[in-house]
Amino acid sequence: MSTFDQLHRFLFSKANVRGELVRLNESLNHIVHSYEYPVQIQRLLSEMAAATSLLTATLKFEGEIGLQIQSKGPVSYAVINATHNQTLRGVARWDESLPSLPEAFSDLLKEAVLVITITPEEGERYQGVVALDKPSLAECLEAYFEQSEQLATQIRLMTDLQQVENTKAAGILIQVLPTSAEATDKANTGEFEHIGTLTETLTEEEMFNLPVDDILYRLYHQEEVEVYPAQSVTFSCSCSRERSAEALKNVEKAELLSIIAEEGAIKMNCQYCHAEYRFDSIDVEAIHSGNHVASTTNQ
Ligand SMILES: [Zn+2]
């Protein structure tokens, strides 16, 4: 049985350190193969998806996390959104006029920042910005945790792009427990470093081929580890006809009607899942008079 598309959490009960391991396959393929992305973009989105899943598990409330890269390099924009229910979606934009893209993370992105947006279902939105000035996404995220939360964190991200249309990504995170951060700073740095050293020994071969129990045993059999039930990770898009209609409220009615006169309908395509929502003149009248739009979907 595959244990991909699952997030696993564990706790080093004696060390005030927690861990997470995620492996993505089917959920990821919906994202990285929804466009003709060059392999470099597939890799970037794969790492971002694994990272976002790991970060979502750090949420202390119900809501969403968005990881968004903005850059002046060949990749202008890449985003992965996730919810506390471990649903993922994502999209990227790059300079399609380039004959080929560079391989290295730092060459793909120039003057780049990572914007981390945390949106609780109730309460205020939080946004953190990290400069993407390190050689890998994992290192940039480690720096983010050190700076914004003063939590020693180790993240490893791996991708397997060998099979066509069957991309895999994985990530492992260990982090000192937030409740004991100050105490941990002083007392448990040694334990965190020790667990970090063990985590470093995990190979890609093991990550993508062994059952999760075997991985955890192989890495941490000398530690006391409490493993929690796994959580499924799925691809899911939050777009809807209602949300698309909402966006049309900001466009002049006359302009919408002239598009309909020319093209027969307003067609709105979701950039994440490619769902198409169509609106005719009756819909436009309803939208601009503040009425509900009939909720038939056109996929
Ligand atoms: Zn969608």
Domain boundaries, the chain: 6-235, 241-289
Q: Which of 170, 173, 169 is nearest to 152 (CA)?
A: 173
CA atoms within 13 A on the CB side of 22: 34
Q: What SS3 state is found at 159?
A: strand
Q: 122 C-alpha to center of ligand 1: Å?
A: 23
Query: Would you state the pLDDT for residue 14?
Result: 87
Burial track 237-273 (b if 16+ CB lie within 10 A, e otherwise): bebebeebbeebeeeeeeebbebbeeeebbebebebb
Query: Would you state the pLDDT for residue 56?
Result: 92
3 token code pair:
């244990």
Q: 297 C-alpha to center of ligand 1: Å?
A: 12
Q: 237 C-alpha to center of ligand 1: Å?
A: 5
User: Which CATH number among 1.10.10.410, 3.90.1280.10, 3.20.20.210, 1.20.1050.140 corresponds to the domain 241-289?
Assistant: 3.90.1280.10
| Segment 235-252, tens digit of pLDDT | 999 899 999 999 999 999
Q: 277 C-alpha to center of ligand 1: Å?
A: 10
DSSP 43-89: HHHHHHHHHHHHHHTT-SSSEEEEEEEE-SSSEEEEEEEEETT-EEE
Q: 214 C-alpha to center of ligand 1: Å?
A: 37
Q: 169 C-alpha to center of ligand 1: Å?
A: 22
Confidence of residue 298 (pLDDT cuts 50, 70, 90): very low
Contact 95, 80 (CB under 8 A): no
Query: Would you state the pLDDT for residue 3?
Result: 82
The architecture (CATH level 2) of 6-235 comes to 3-Layer(bab) Sandwich (3.55)
Q: 83 C-alpha to center of ligand 1: Å?
A: 14
| Segment 96-105, tens digit of pLDDT | 999 999 999 9
CA distance 134 to 153: 15
Q: 273 C-alpha to center of ligand 1: Å?
A: 4
CA distance 295 to 245: 10
- Give the number of residues written for the chain: 299
Confidence of residue 147 (pLDDT cuts 50, 70, 90): confident
Query: Would you state the pLDDT for residue 96?
Result: 94
Q: Rounded mean pLDDT of the chain?
A: 91
Q: 95 C-alpha to center of ligand 1: Å?
A: 23
Quote the DSSP letter at residue 236: -
Quote the DSSP letter at residue 192: H
Query: Would you state the pLDDT for residue 133?
Result: 92
Q: What SS3 state is found at 131?
A: strand
How many other CB atoms are there within 10 angstroms of residue 228's CB atom? 13
| Segment 59-94, tens digit of pLDDT | 888 999 999 999 999 999 999 999 999 999 999 999
Q: From the CA atom positions of the chain, what is the Rg in Å?
A: 22
Confidence of residue 187 (pLDDT cuts 50, 70, 90): low
Q: What average pLDDT does the segment 130-158 reach?
A: 92
Q: What average pLDDT does the segment 127-132 reach?
A: 92
Ligand 1 (ion): residues with CB under 5 Å are: 237, 239, 270, 272-273, 275
Q: 148 C-alpha to center of ligand 1: Å?
A: 32
